[in-house]
Structure formats: C-alpha cells, structure tokens
Structure 1
C-alpha cells in the first residue's frame, strides 16, 4: 500500500498527541461530572452503531431550520451554507446566447444545484434516504449534477451534509461531499402549510401550499405528501443595477446588433470603409457612397450611442411552477423484516427570457454558422439600398440587425421527474450477535422539453436576403427587409424566418443495492464492526435538439444530439476497529477503514480507500481525522456531448476596448495573428465551440480533514449555559486530471502573449481580425487544490422568565484554491476573486440567534460574504472600475440580515403563524463588471433591491 496514504494520518495523530497533554491536564485539575454528546444519526457510514457522535464533519439542517430561511427550494437553502460555492438557481437567467458549457450538461435553465468547497456541483453526490438521485435534465443537454428542484421541500424531514470525500462508501461523484435528504416517514395526522411572499417593490411573488397526511399502525406506516410552489418573475429593468448591460458604463457594452441595423462593409465603388446605421425615421434609406461621418445621405456612423440595451429584457428572477406528490409505505412483515415502497412524481415548469435574438451576418459576426458567416446579400434584393452585393468573402464585414419586431426570446421548460423505489430491511441474530441487512431497487427518470419562441431560421434569412429569383422559387420565401430600421420586418417576413424550436433531453438511473452490517468479534476495547455491500447502477441519457438545429439552420446557439449509457458494478467493505477504551490515553480511540471497488463499462476498474481516526479524549472532547481517495467517472455529457457553442463574455486583447482604451495585447503578436491596427470587436461576446471528449479519463481526488468537537463540561447544564459546542475542521482537497476546459479568457490571453500553438490551435480569425472560431473542448486538466477551515460555535442558554435563546455561528475560511491546466496554465479562480460569474470568498459566515417563550418564537440571521476582486476588462476605462490603473474592481464585503417571528395558536394540534423578512435592510449586492448578466453575481448574492417579506400558516390536525 502506498505510504502516502498514511502521511495525513500521521499528521493528525501528531496533532492529537500535541493537544492531549493540555486537555488531559485540564481534566485532572478540575473535577467534573461526565457528560456525553448528543446521539444522532449521520451520513457517511454504513455501519449500524449507537455511538456516532463526532466521527465525520456533518452538518444537519432540521425542518425547523429550513423553515426559518423562508426559502422554498432545497437548492437555495443549501446554497446559503458557508461551505457552498457557486451553483445554478432561480437568479440565473441562463438561456438565450448565454451558451452551452463544455461538459455537455446544457444550460440547466430553471434548476437549482449545490456546490461544496467550490469544486463544482457535479462533484457533489446527492442522496435521498441514502440512495442516489437521478441527474438533472433541462432539455438542453445531459446533466451531470442533481437538480434539487426535482425534490419537493415539503417531503423533507432533515438534510445531512457531509463535507468530506466519500467515494469509498458511495462511489463516484462524492469528491467534495455528500448531501443526504431524509424524507418524512413517521407522521400521524394531517398538516396543511400555506405561504405567500413578495419583494418590497411588489414583484417576485412566491406562493405555495403543502399537504401532508400520515397514519401508523402496529405493523405499518404510511405517509403521503403533495406540494405546489409558484415563483413569479422579477424583471431586470425594474432595478437600477440591472437595467443596463454593465452598471456605470451606459451603452458602451450594449450589443452591436441593433434594431436599426448596423452595416460594416467596404464600398466596392469608392474603396471607402463604412460602419453605418440608418437614421431613425428615414423610411427606406438612401445611400450616396460618401466616406467619413459627415454624411449627406440617410445614414450616420455607428457610435456607442447606437448600441442596443439587451439588459432591459432580462430577468433577475426566473419564474417557475412546481408540483409534486410523494408517498411512502412501510410494512413490518415480521418483527425482524420490513418491506417499503416509495414513489414520487414532480413537474417543474419554468421560463427564461433573453433580448430579441440578434441576426449577425458576415465574418465579424463569428457565429460559426455558414449561412451567417458566408453570406451574399444580393444587390437585387428589393430592400437593399446600397446598389451592390454585400459578400462575406469580399466586401462585407458585419451586419448586425436586432429584429425587435419578433419579440423577446422566451424559453419554456417542462421537466417531469418520476421515481419509484422498493426494498426489504431486516435484522437477525446469529453467532451471538445482531446482523442488519437491506436490499433496495430504484428507478428514476428526468425528462425535459424546452420550447423556444423568438429565434430565427438563419438559412431562411440567407435565402430572403439573396437573389430574389431563388427566393421566389422557394415555397414560402419572402424577401427580407433588414435595411430600413426598426419596424421594417413585416408579419409575413417573420412567418418565413421565425420558427418555434423544441429541444428534449432525459436522464435515467436504475439501481440495485444490498448491504450487511454487524460485529465480527470483540477486541479488548470493544467489538470490531463492519459493513459490506454491493451496488449496481445504470445511467442512460440523451439530448435531442430541434431538427432545425441539427441541420444547422438555427440562428441561435448551435448544438448536436447526444446520447449514451454506461453501467457500473461496485463492492465495498467498511470496518470500525476499536484501538483502546477507558485508558490513560483517553476514553476511546477508533480506527475506521473503508474501501470500494468500482468496475465501469466505459473505462474499467477503480479502487478507492478511506482511513479515519476518532479519539474521544474525554467525555466532552473528540479529535477526528480522515484521509480518503476518490474519483469521478466522466458523465454521459462529458464523454459523448457533441459540438455546441457558448457565447462567452471574453475580451480580445488585440481589440480596442469597447470603452475606447488601447488593446492590451502585444502589437507585434496581434499583427502576427492577422489583426490589423485599429481593430475593434463588434461585440463583447465571443462564440466558443465546446463539446465532450470520448478519450477522457476519470478524475482522481485526495481528501484530508482533521479537527475536533468540544462540548466543555463547564458550559453544559449550568446556570449560565445549557449547552455550548465548538467544532473546528481543517479540510484539504486535491483533484488530479480534473475534467473541464481551460478558461477561455486564459487561453486567448496566453495565445496572444506567447503565440504558442498549444493555446492558439483552435482559435482562428477572419481577414478582418475578428475571431471566427474558438475551440475550447473538455480535457483532463492538471489539478485543482483547495484547503481551508470550518469553525462553528453553538450556544444554548438556559430557560428563563424572558424565554430561551440559542446562538449559532458558522464560518468557512478558504486558505487556498489553485487550478492548473494540463500544461500548467494557471486558471483565474482563487480565494477572494470573482471570475466567470462565480466567486470564492476568503470568508463566509452565518450567525443566528433564536428565541422562544411560551407560544412565541423569533430569529435573526446574519449572512456575511467577504471582499472580492475582479478584472474590469474593457470596463477599466470607466470610473465604475474602482482601480482603473490596475484594471481591477473591488466587490466590497457584504452582509445580509434576515428575521422571522412566529406564534403558535393552541388549536387542533397547533396552528403556527410566521412572518419573516429577508434582507431586512434592503442591501444591494456589490456591482460586478465581469458578470454576464444583471450587474452582479447571482450565485453569491441576493438580487438588487432584494428585501423580501413572507407569511406562513402551518396547521396540524
């Protein structure tokens, strides 16, 4: 066995020994009454045992704590944990030309995910009652993460979060941690919960109703639940921070594809380079071929004032409607054998919206679509005012026309989730010991359809702008007028060029598990316990874009079909070995060992071990440490995902900035790449081709944690303290061969700086200097390394005449985050930095105080995110960039406050009334200049002007 496995344990043992003397001395000097930590069930072990406190860094969210947030989505609740990173939620308006990620998962529109330790949602394993949940489907790809909106919050009893590697127990994906959602089971009676809330500006209304009913008998229990939740939209144009493309920059970062039309070409008659916009109200414009910007015709030269404000059509909060039903029945066949069956059905209907889709034509458009990039606009087109052909390979550079006549792009998703599971749970006595076993079978499917209104058929646009004779010979074709300004595109023209686009995708998971747990024999310090088991899983996934997209006629973000499947057979063994008990070295020392072998149909076998020590030094002080190896198998989308495109916010170092600042790139290198002096990109978005890679290997991880749990005897059951707990954990994760694409901005910068083919291959430019293609595919990157500390304190005061108070303070400090490309390229993510619509704060903190007296209760919660820094990019020319010299912007530390007050009416079994206010002081998020939409990081902060009030009524009978 590799000695590397033992090094983290040696470090932890040294730490334990170092702390032992001081803790032991304290225990000898001060007499006390022994106390024990509370006994709880935890995720992270298959062994059935009575004593599980402090074995692993587990955070448990009770139903009461979940309700205190006022949130209606499991994903949004988990994203408020201090150890959570950036992940999709309802604040991401992610359709439109936001683009496809390279892992083939699609844009995830309408979903809610969880990311732990900033390692990505696909590296978090989500379980429901200890069994895997199916991956997401949003009709735009084959996802490799879990959409938590497929699980109704109403069925949740509690959520257990293991922030440690656990591949040895659960297999692939459990690199950053495990989220185990425990459903409601033992319930007697009925419950109706109604909630309503909205933002202080009167929008973003949330309302819902949850129904629960359960009954129990001597040998059975039954629980039925139903849930309905509706979230209304919040529009970006209702908030000052999000009503423009980037706050504080006016229209400089608006789109160059505009309702009036922008025309860049070289006049073949005069040789004059033109960049023209027809004057408003000119009707059919006249063109006289004059050069310069002092014109006598119906045009003026394009300026930033002409740019289109696409932000006014965006959504700050996307609407959704979720309906779910769940049932769970358990029957005791004998005193030692139970059968269960569970079923769930859930439907999510959600909507994303983007600005009217631009039609970009010519080499500077860089769409990668031949119908757009290689077009000839005929001189014979009845609306062409120039009197000559506009040819991509000759005189045409760029046409940008925003057909607002066709309305905004609207993407409607319908996602249906089905789930059924059954199994047997039993125990028996043999060889003077108890044996516990279970067998489980499960099938689940996510099936999604997305309907897109407001996009265009670029092939039909090409025909309608070409030779009128060819158009006349094509059934349905109508010549298109993109030349006469806003309003020139008639309903007949729209009928020819504007289709309804439908995409579909699905993910399926079939699973069988069998587990056995008992004690092998008794050692001097206690019994040696074990758990072992077998698991079989089969994954199937597919994505089928609209036939229009497949054949290349779709004007929007292109993609191709994806389909694939694989299966895996696994076996595991876990041991809990007592080393000593009741000795001079402490109360108890246990060694835990676990190993899992996985055999994949796609790449073969993997073995993942885990080692842990738990040292209960005294009754109230526990030291623990663990070391685990893990892996994540490439997902269906990562392996088989076909070519797609992402339109990313990338700044070309060879281009004059949109704010007018000089190009950042080396002039000689830019010239060598074919970029002429004075070149300026037409838009701030660059189209990047993405896709899967069948040659991918699994990514491998190493996880280490060490820490302690302390419930000091002098602060438990005293006059001034009922209970006081301190939990400190150091964590470190290392991932080798991480599956992702090199950051596109980093690749482009390195290409311009070095001219190295390693970075420049795949990036091509048109003869105008514009990037015409950018290939940025998945690969096994060099490494990701991160470490940090969790420091949590919990204090419960004794009951007094003024009530009982409980305080909690949870903190995560990120010490390091370093991502390297396969050739050692340093990626831009690091602690304290905002990049690519995500952040890694150096410190996140949640503090709460709750109070209860008789029928009254109240709580106050404080959420803090430390300061961040971002690159201003082209916005460095504007005062909104806090350090224009360095080209960086500071996102100030931000603190949100939430409160809730409740009263319980003694009617029936209890009527609980609650009133809450989130973001009490209406704190705005810090302005983000590098973020793609809405001027802030939607994965980290509340929306601008985000004070939200809500009311809840919960009746039990």
Structure 2
C-alpha cells in the first residue's frame, strides 16, 4: 500500500525560524487610497495594470488593487493563490483544502480536476475567466494531469519572486485579449534588488498537524548598466486528515453515515432470485465474515448471517479523506536586465517550478450491475458465475445487456475492498518559462516614444500516479467462470461476498494496477508595443499605445492505457489534444478634454480596442471606453465600459467523453417523492415506491467543437475621496474613501447546465430538452446521465466595493493604520440556454461554492520603533442552501422550507514582529490566524468534509507561525 509523501525539509525549516455612490466614476478596488491619490497627482510611474499607455496620467481608469510584499507577509500565507482568494472580491476556486481527486471526476470543460492547484476567481465568474500575467506577459495554463486546463495554477509561481500583485477587477479583453472577462492578475517580479535576503517560516495548527515550512532566498546585484536577480523558494505543507477534526470526521456533521456510501467493506447485494422471483437488498451482519445465504428467508428478519441494508450500514468515507492536502513546491527564478545604450535595454528571464502534491480518497468501491451507473459497460453489465467458489447465492448474477431483460437478475453490488488501502493520487507538475525582450525609447517630431518587443515560451507538464484503483476487466474475469480465470496467467478468483479480510493479497495483485495519467499545456507568444504622445490639445497631450501579439497554445491529456481501453474501475476518460494560434492588434488612446477649468482640474476620455483572429475561425473586435474626472485635488471620479469575449479553450473544444460523480437527489425516490410528480416518474419508467440506492450518480461530460465564444459587457463606476479637512489633522494624517460599482453580463457562457437542475427539470416537465441523455434501468435507477457543454444563456452579476483607509497621526506610542475593505454582491443570475434558472445566487451555497452577499476585511496595523503588529478581521455573511434529502436532520435549520442557514462567520488574525537592526536587520514575526478557533458552518450540499473549502478556513484549528527575515 502506498502512503502519503512525508516532508523532506520540514525539520530544517522548523529549526530555521453605504455612501451614496456617484454613478459616473471608477476607483481602484482595494489599492491603498493613499497610494492611489498620490499616483493621481504625481507622475512617478510609467506602467500599471489596466492601461498599456506608459504614462501615469492614464492610470486609475479601472479598479486595480495593489498587494504589496508587506501585505503578503502580514497575511502569514505561503501561496499566491491563497493570497488572492482572501480578497473580498474573490469567488470560489480550487486550493489545497480541496481533496479534489477520487470521486470529483472530470468537469465538463475538459480541464480535469486541477488536483493540488490553486486558482483564482474574480467576481464569482470562474477561474477560466481570469487572466494571469507575470510582468504583463500572459502565463501558461495549468497542467492538471487529468485534462487540458483552462485556468492558471498560481502554485506554479514561487512567492519569493513577487514584488507586488496588481489585481484588475474589470473586463479587459480590449487590453489583454481573451480570458480577461472577469479581470486580470498581474504578478510583478522583483527587479531592482541589491543584496541578499533569507526568509524562513514555520507554522502548524493548534492540533499539532498541517505543518507548513517555507524558505525563500533572494539575491540581487546592480551595476551601472545592469541588474541581476535570483530567487529560490521552497515550501512544504503537510496533510491533515478529515478524521482528526470532529466536523469533518463524517460526510456531514450530525447526520452520521446517512450521507455515506453504499459501497461498504461488507458489501451490499441487490438482486432477484431467479428461482423464486424474490428481490433482495441485503448485507452481511457485522463480524460475520462467512454468511450462508438462505433463499427461504425472504424478509428482513433473517438468521442466515444477512440483514436488509439500511442507512446505518453505509460507509463513512470521510475517515480516509484529507482536510488539507500535502504540497511540496520548489522554484527558482532568475532575470538579468542590461542597459545596452542610453535608449535601449534588454532582459532575460528563466523560471523553473516543481510541485509534488497528493490527494487521498477512501478505498475505491467496486459497483456492479445496472444500478451502478458507472458509465463503464463492463461494470454495469457484470456477470458473476454461480461457479465462482465464493458466490454464496448458488445461481448466476447476470446484469448483461445481451441477456433478455426478464432474465437479468443483478441490480447492484457495492463492495469496498478496504484490504487494498485508500486511493492515493500523486501529482508531479513541472513548469518552465523562458522570456526575453528588448525595450527602449526614441524621439520623433519632438515626441518621446516607448517601444518593446517580447518573446516568451512556457510549458506546464504534469503526471498523476494513482495507487489503490482497480482493473474492472480483471475483476470481471475473477468473478466469472473459474475455468476461464484459470486459463489466464495470474488470474485469481475474487471474493467480494464476505467481510473485510476476505480479499487476499493474491486477489489484490490481480485486480490492482498502478495508473499513470499525463497532461501538458504549452504557450509561445510574441508581442511588440509602441506608446507615447501623438499631439497636443488645449487640455494636454493625446497619449497612445498600440501593439500586436501572436501566441500559440497547445494542450494534451493522455490517460493511462488501462483507462483508454475502458478497463479502469474509476472515472473513465479518453485522450484529448488540440492547438490553436491567435494574432491580435490593439490600440489605446487617452484624450484630455478639460484641464484647470470651471468643470474641475482634469477630465480625460480613454478609448481602447483589440482585434483578435483565431485559427479556429473566430474573429472579434472588443472596445473599451473610460472617463477620469479629477474634480478637485481631493476627489476623483472614474467610469469605464468594456466589451469582451472569451474563446473556447482546448479542453472545451476538444475534450473527449469523461465522467464526474455527482451527489444527486432523484426527485422520483421515495419517501420524499412529491405526490404531484408520481405520474411523471411513472412515465419515466420509475416503479412505485422506488428508493434511490446510491446518491452518487455518474455524469458523462465532454467538449463540444461547435461552441461559440462567450461575449461580455462590463461596467464600473465610482470615486475616490480624500477629505482635505482630515489631512494632517489631529485625528488623521490621511483619510480616504473608495467606492466602486461593478456590473458584468456574459452572453453565451460556456457551461453545462447544473446536473441537479437538469434532473429536476426533466422530472418536472418531461421535456426532451432536459430528459435526453438521462436513462434509467428497469428498476428505475438512473444508469446514464449525459451533461455536455453548451453556450449557456446568460450570467449577470453586480455589486459594490466600499473601502475606507485611515492613517492616524504618529504619537509617542506609535502609528496606526486602518483599512476596511468590503464587497457587497447585489445580483448574481445564471440562466440556461432554454431559460432554466441555475441555482447560484447572492447568499446561496451550492456545489461547493458560495456567493456571500457581504465579505469584509478590516486590518489594523501598528508600528513603533522596531516593533510592528497587525490585527485582521475577516467576515463572511450568512449563506443559505437547499437541505435536499437531509431535511429530516437537525442540522437542517429550517426543515419547513428545506433550507439550511450557514451562519455568518468572522475570523481574527494577529501578528507581532520586531526588527533587530544590530543583527543584520533580523526581523522575527509571530502570528496566529483564526485566533478564536472559529469553525466553518456546516454545509449539507458540499461534497467532502462538511464545509465549503473555497470560502472558509479548515475546521478545528488556530494556525500559528513564526518567521525570521534577514537582509544583508
């Protein structure tokens, strides 16, 4: 049995130690208002995220949040993805709190499960609609080892190389191209760094687990005409088992094993006796490893070692799951910049990053028979010979489709071979990046023009190795005629009928392969840009930027040959590969309309546009318009409107048929069947009093080469106000308010209809639009569910960012700074192509993701001499979810409306540090996140561990850390 990797340097690291908004303007979302206001009035920066014009006068047209390196260090987080996910405007996305292999299966977009990755979602529009840049250059998409990823894995970028992160939460297709519908994350690397710094951090949870250690080494050297930077980063995060926390030790707290699996170590057997016509749903008694079936005992009161299967017999798979997945990352980054002449310079960048991560799932269940619904014809059509030496029933169990329906007597067998140990999924992900460029400045017609050309080649390559899964072909042979088994070398008859321990090592050797899947994403691009001033107007010069970009994307996914042949007992999939290239031209113009007039100090209008031509046949032009009005020194209004689009990704276009296992409630299942639906269920072939045997239903997904692009409209408006009466006053050095209204509309969003919604609509309407692709066995259970990608009707969302920044005067006890950042979601509405409303919405928890109506972060900083401290409060407002079949449990807070309330949650984080200037500027920092040990609210609809891992901290644990920083 394979075990989870252990730390290699953990011990070394341990020892190293609401105002009324003016609907005319836009403000940076959460950049320090003080910094923003200063940048409005000064021209000390020439390049920012959100504009391609290299002059600070065009800065600030859109909401950009700047996260400085000091902000990252104050958080105690060791992953860029975790930093981004902590922002109030972020939505649900994968991270290392998701134990995302195993039954998660394959999402419809062909991207795979992204196991071990950390992604970013802005405005709850999905990670594939967020563009990630490094120094303004597009970053390669993730390699998940189980598909062709369409999102970026932020764990491929070492934290040690980051100078700051700029987050643009506005549509930006006209500036940066496809994928920027929801916004842009631009990671700025460290460049002008001189000297050597070493940062080491060790932390763990108060339960004594989840140890995390990091070591970052940065070196830089500057000469008159060159500067060099080298950064090396190592991070090691250890696992936490779900069984080690009360809240996650069962699938859903307070429900026991009701949400457990019918694939149990003793086995569940549903079949019809061909001799009597009696149908059984039985399981061996606990502790009885060799029951003797008595066909004369047809009821549930039995003396033959069996009893009727009941809820209490279900299997608690949570005992094997991970609450926090282990992840080990090693990265190195180097860059050199050279000043060739007074007007021309060049650079070279190289990055390598390796991630070794692990997911673990419960021992893989073997589901056999038509009600198994695995999508594997061998499993669903299983035949078990009466001659099998371990078959206790004395007759064939036949589920073959070639057998006449009246003679098929196998309905469902669920047996979980705990003898084989848990499923272990190990990911090895390698990322390469090489970039080079030239940049310079020249004068033409008394105008200064800036130019640059850039070339970048990058690759993400992943391999996932799976231990603990099974070969369904060998299982079928081992359950069939012993003579046929004996004719194949190594075949050993299989005993799935008795309790734990009945499957011997010889049996395991025959059915247990090692499964290896591989995937790769490649990106090559060339860009050329020109920026400067065109001519003068009375209010100032007209500035411009223009350029071209050509990029080629190539992706592939190659599952193990066992999977391709259809013999893998787990999630089936087929190979995927594809590529395309795109050529683009863009422009941006900034027109000064007024300056120092009765209408205010300055009014600018910005126009941008990009034309994109894809080799897949897509050609689009996307414009953007912006206004920036500095009314007075202390008040700036801003607004922007942008059209955008996102071309289908490789996985969305070319992804082959695969599967994910969804937790679905069949509306036709008793005893929860709505009497008004009885006729519809009968029309679908569901017998009266049908009870759903297994809530885990396999849903087939896949790409669609007929997909159209997504189109979007994005609008934002707001202001930044710095009251002059408070500046340098007795109560404030500075006080700033930023307000932003945002709205995004996406037409033709590429998405599959929510599977539960599709099933509900099918039963409610009997419409072929929803029912086509959903098939049922003769017993009534769903044995086929086709849920493919389509251009969904529409997604609309809007809301507000309201932020306050207060710098108090310095006194004898030090100086305080307070920042309070808030995001309020007003609307989120997703509608299917045929008008069906999807379940997501403000204040709703569904499918492991949440859209809180209000998220808020308050940070208070204190500095005094060498001392510094910070107190951060993170708040998530109340959420609601549908209780589904859990309506009878006490954890369903309002059974009358089948609604569970996830109460508002507030976390408190503290940090204290001191710098010893006499000791090489050594700074020691001690921090504790979640000081008051706040547990996340119980989530009934979440698929693992009873809580939403993308929204909340893990249950049961303060996280403390100690960090040492040395600068030489």
TM-score normalised by the chain length of structure 1: 0.96
Q: What is the match of residue 601 of structure 1?
A: 615
Check if 1:193 corresponds to 2:199: yes
Q: What is the match of residue 80 of structure 1?
A: 86
Alignment equivalent of 1:274, drawn from 280, 293, 300:
280
SS at match of 1:405: helix
Q: What is the match of residue 762 of structure 1?
A: 773
Structure 2 CA distance for partners of 1:863 and 1:676, relative to 1, 3 Å: same
Q: What is the match of residue 559 of structure 1?
A: 573
Q: How far does residue 783 in structure 1 lie from its aligned partner after superposition?
A: 0.4
Q: How far does residue 583 in structure 1 lie from its aligned partner after superposition?
A: 0.4
Check if 1:577 corresponds to 2:591: yes
Alignment equivalent of 1:881, drawn from 888, 892, 896:
892
Alignment equivalent of 1:936, drawn from 919, 942, 947:
947
Q: Distance in 2 between matches of 1:409 and 1:156?
A: 36
Q: How far does residue 662 in structure 1 lie from its aligned partner after superposition?
A: 4.5
Alignment equivalent of 2:692, drawn from 681, 687, 690:
681
Q: Distance in 2 between matches of 1:819 and 1:437?
A: 42
User: Is the 8 Å Cα contact of residues 36 and 620 (structure 1) preserved in structure 2?
Assistant: no
Task: Give 1:207-356 correspondences, 5 Å limit.
Answer: 207-289=213-295, 290-356=297-363
Q: What is the match of residue 405 of structure 2?
A: none
User: Is the 8 Å Cα contact of residues 665 and 753 (structure 1) preserved in structure 2?
Assistant: no
Gaps of 5+ in 1: 1-11, 20-32
Q: What is the match of residue 815 of structure 1?
A: 826
Structure 2 CA distance for partners of 1:431 and 1:556, relative to 1, 3 Å: same
Alignment equivalent of 1:112, drawn from 115, 118, 121:
118
Task: Give 1:723-872 correspondences, 5 Å limit.
Answer: 723-872=734-883
1:746-786 deviation digits (Å, cap 9, x = unpaired): 00000000000000000000001010000000000000000
Gaps of 5+ in 2: 1-19, 28-37, 401-407
User: Is the 8 Å Cα contact of residues 628 and 702 (structure 1) preserved in structure 2?
Assistant: yes
Structure 2 CA distance for partners of 1:279 and 1:35, relative to 1, 3 Å: closer
Check if 1:124 corresponds to 2:130: yes
Q: What is the match of residue 26 of structure 1?
A: none
1:716-749 deviation digits (Å, cap 9, x = unpaired): 2233211111110100000000000000000000
SS at match of 2:763: helix
User: Is the 8 Å Cα contact of residues 40 and 57 (structure 2) preserved in structure 1?
Assistant: no
1:65-101 deviation digits (Å, cap 9, x = unpaired): 0110000000000001000000000100010011210
Q: How far does residue 661 in structure 1 lie from its aligned partner after superposition?
A: 4.2
Q: Distance in 2 between matches of 1:560 and 1:265?
A: 32
TM-score normalised by the chain length of structure 2: 0.95
Q: How far does residue 38 in structure 1 lie from its aligned partner after superposition?
A: 8.9
Task: Give 1:37-186 correspondences, 5 Å limit.
Answer: 42-186=48-192
Superposed CA RMSD: 1.6
Q: How far does residue 679 in structure 1 lie from its aligned partner after superposition?
A: 1.4
Check if 1:452 corresponds to 2:458: no
Q: How far does residue 565 in structure 1 lie from its aligned partner after superposition?
A: 0.1
Q: Distance in 1 between matches of 2:342 and 2:919?
A: 34
Q: How far does residue 538 in structure 1 lie from its aligned partner after superposition?
A: 0.3
User: Is the 8 Å Cα contact of residues 42 and 52 (structure 1) preserved in structure 2?
Assistant: no
Check if 1:672 corresponds to 2:683: yes
SS at match of 1:877: coil
Q: How far does residue 814 in structure 1 lie from its aligned partner after superposition?
A: 0.4
Q: Distance in 2 between matches of 1:594 and 1:651?
A: 48
Q: How far does residue 907 in structure 1 lie from its aligned partner after superposition?
A: 3.1
Task: Give 1:435-474 correspondences, 5 Å limit.
Answer: 435-474=449-488
1:382-420 deviation digits (Å, cap 9, x = unpaired): 111111000115111110000000000000000000000
Q: What is the match of residue 27 of structure 1?
A: none
Alignment equivalent of 1:529, drawn from 538, 543, 558:
543
User: Is the 8 Å Cα contact of residues 40 and 60 (structure 2) preserved in structure 1?
Assistant: no
Q: How far does residue 53 in structure 1 lie from its aligned partner after superposition?
A: 4.9
Q: Distance in 2 between matches of 1:484 and 1:170?
A: 61
Q: Distance in 2 between matches of 1:850 and 1:38?
A: 28
Q: Distance in 1 between matches of 2:43 and 2:760?
A: 54
SS at match of 1:713: coil
Q: What is the match of residue 722 of structure 1?
A: 733
Alignment equivalent of 1:925, drawn from 936, 939, 945:
936
1:497-540 deviation digits (Å, cap 9, x = unpaired): 01000000000000000000011100000000000000001000
Q: What is the match of residue 4 of structure 1?
A: none
Alignment equivalent of 2:666, drawn from 652, 655, 659:
652
1:547-566 deviation digits (Å, cap 9, x = unpaired): 00001000001111000000
User: Is the 8 Å Cα contact of residues 112 and 149 (structure 1) preserved in structure 2?
Assistant: yes
Q: Distance in 2 between matches of 1:532 and 1:265?
A: 70
Q: How far does residue 372 in structure 1 lie from its aligned partner after superposition?
A: 0.5
Task: Give 1:466-505 correspondences, 5 Å limit.
Answer: 466-505=480-519
